[in-house]
Amino acid sequence: MAELLNLEHAHEGLATVLSQVRLIGAELENYAAAAVSDARSRGAGWDEVAVAACQSRSTVRGRWSEKAVTRLFQNRMKERSASIGERPVPSAARQEILADAEVGAREETRAAARSSRKLASALSFLHRGSGLHIKGVAAHTGLSSSYVSRMLSGERIPTWTAVRLLAETFDADPGDLRALWEASQGLVRPTRPPLHEAVARLTGAMRGIHLAAGRPPFEHVAQLSSGSLTADIVEGALAGRIVPCWETTSSLLTALGAQPADLRGVWEDTNYAFLVCVMATPDDGPPPGGMQLEE
C-alpha cells in the first residue's frame, strides 16, 4: 500500500497505478493461499475453509488445493526473480522514491533463496541420519521418489505438507523447519506477536539453521564464534530457554553459516514482546546478555 501511495504522490499515470493495484491483489491472494495452507496443515477441513472464505466448498478446494498453492508460490518466486533484472526504467521522480524499495526487493529475493538452500540442507541432513533410502522415504510419506529426491537436493521448493511429512518420517520436529519453509516462500508473518509466540518463532528459526548446518555440537559452535559464545549459551538459545542480545544472536547465526540480517526482524519482534511484558510488570529488566526464560 505504501508503494501505491508513493506512485500517487509521484503523479504516475493511471496504467502504472493500476498495475501496482494488480500486484497488491496478487500479494493478497498469495497471503490467503498461505493462510489456507497453514490452516489445512493444522487439520482444517474444506467445509471450514469454505465458511471462512464465504465461498462454496468446490470453489475453495479448486482455488487452494495443495497443487494450486504450490503452483502459485512457485510462480511468485519466478516472477520476483525475473523482475529484478527486467524492470523498466522509472521516471525521475519515481527513481528517488523507489531507490530503497528496489534494494529491499532484491535482498528479500536473496533471503528467500538462502532459506530454500538451508531448508534443503536441513532435510538432507535429517534424511542421512534416518538411514532410509529415497524409495523408503517415498513409501513412508506417500510422495513420489522423484519429488523426494528433488526436495532433498534443493531442486524443488516443497509444500508445507511435504516438509511436515518428511520431518515426521525422519523423527524430527516439523516446527524446527517451519520458519525456514516460510522464508523460502517469501512469506512474512504479522509483526509484534505475543512473547511466547515470538520466542517460539525465533527458537524454531535458529533450530532450523542449526539443522541446516548439520547439527554441530554446541561446543563446536562456541569455538566457531571466536570466544563470543559458550556452549551453555548455544544450548540455551537453541532450546528456547534464553533469548540472547542481538550481538550474541548474530554471533550464533554467523557461526552456523547463516546471514544474521535474515533473522533480525524475528529477533526484534521477540525483544519488543519482552519489553512490553517488562513495562506491564515492572522489574529489574533483562540481564545484559539477554533474556532468561522460565522453563
Domains and CATH numbers, the chain: 2-109 (no CATH), 113-176 (1.10.260.40), 195-292 (1.10.260.40)
- Range of lowest pLDDT (49-58, 157-166, 279-288): 279-288
How far apart are the C-alpha atoms of 274 and 196, rounded to whole Å?
9
The residue among 294 and 135 whose pLDDT is bigger is 135
3-state secondary structure of 174: coil
- The grid coordinates of residue 285 equal 529488566
How confident is the model over 31-45, as pLDDT tens digits?
Answer: 788 778 777 767 788
Mean pLDDT, the chain, as a whole number? 82
DSSP state letter for 178: H
- Range of lowest pLDDT (77-81, 118-122, 233-237): 77-81
H or E stretch including 291?
strand 290-292
Residue 289: its pLDDT value, please?
A: 52
The residue among 163 and 287 whose pLDDT is bigger is 163
The model carries a pTM of: 0.62
**pLDDT beyond 50 at 76:** yes
> Which whole number is the average pLDDT over 121-127?
97
CB 246: neighbour CB atoms within 10 A?
Answer: 15
- The grid coordinates of residue 279 equal 513495562
**pLDDT beyond 50 at 103:** no
3-state secondary structure of 27: helix
Read off the pLDDT band of 290 (50, 70, 90): low
The residues, ordered by sequence, that sit 6+ positions from 196 with a Cβ below 8 Å of its Cβ are none
Residue 12: its pLDDT value, please?
A: 64
